[in-house]
Amino acid sequence: MSVWIIWLSVAAILLIIEVLTQMFWTLCLAIGCVGALAGNLLGVGTAWEMIIMAGVSFVAYAFLAPVFQRWHQRQLEKNGRKDRTGMDALLGRRAVVTSEIKPGETGRARIDGDSWQVVAPGVHETVRKGSEVIVEGYNSIILTVSTRI
């Protein structure tokens, strides 16, 4: 089997992985494989093909990373979403109380099907089951909520 077919096959596999995982670096490696394929067709040796693959992959990453970051930022701004993950993604979200929250004690609330332990400092009356609360903060895995809606 010719070496150019191997480079083409590896590039195709990397593109499939890119489509399935959207990991970005696989796209850069696929571009590097196409560069190595071109080197093979021009008759350079295997060592040079590897160098071309690494170099073209690096250049593709250096060029495409800022392009994709700007595109991602524009998408976030267009959609009006902030780029928050993990616990920060819960801030400002509404939750439904599933176990009443008594003053100074913890209760439970549900967000998107997940049950969270919650506290409501500053609330002087029991927050009843079924009430809506807003997530204001968190301490470890305990959410701090308020009744202001």
Do 108 and 65 belong to one domain? no
Number of structural domains in the chain: 2
Do 97 and 114 belong to one domain? yes
Do 7 and 72 belong to one domain? yes
The reported pLDDT for the residue numbered 81 is 58
Tell me the C-alpha distance between 138 and 142, whole Å.
6
Cβ burial, residue 39 (10 Å; 0-12/13-18/19+): buried
Q: DSSP labels for 43-90?
A: T--HHHHHHHHHHHHHHHHHHHHHHHHHHHHHHHHHHT-----GGGGG
Do 132 and 108 belong to one domain? yes
Do 43 and 66 belong to one domain? yes
The reported pLDDT for the residue numbered 84 is 65
User: Which residues, other chains included, contact 133 with Cβ-Cβ below 8 Å and sequence gap of 6+?
Assistant: 94, 95, 96, 97, 101, 109, 118, 120, 127, 145, 146, 147, 149
Do 62 and 93 belong to one domain? no
Do 64 and 120 belong to one domain? no
The reported pLDDT for the residue numbered 106 is 92
The reported pLDDT for the residue numbered 80 is 62
User: Which residues, other chains included, contact 142 with Cβ-Cβ below 8 Å and sequence gap of 6+?
Assistant: 106, 116, 117, 118, 119
Of 79, 98, 115, the one marking the end of a domain is 79
Do 29 and 75 belong to one domain? yes
pTM: 0.53
pLDDT, tens digit (0-9, with 9 covering 90-100), for 69-78: 888 788 777 7
Do 104 and 132 belong to one domain? yes
Of 79, 114, 133, the one marking the end of a domain is 79
Of 44, 79, 114, the one marking the end of a domain is 79
The reported pLDDT for the residue numbered 34 is 96
Domain range for residue 24?
A: 3-79
Instruction: Please list the rounded mean pLDDT of every run of 10 residues in the chain (149 residues).
Output: 88 93 90 95 93 96 91 75 72 92 93 92 89 92 87
Do 125 and 141 belong to one domain? yes
The reported pLDDT for the residue numbered 1 is 58
The reported pLDDT for the residue numbered 116 is 95
- The CATH number of the domain holding residue 121 is 2.40.50.140
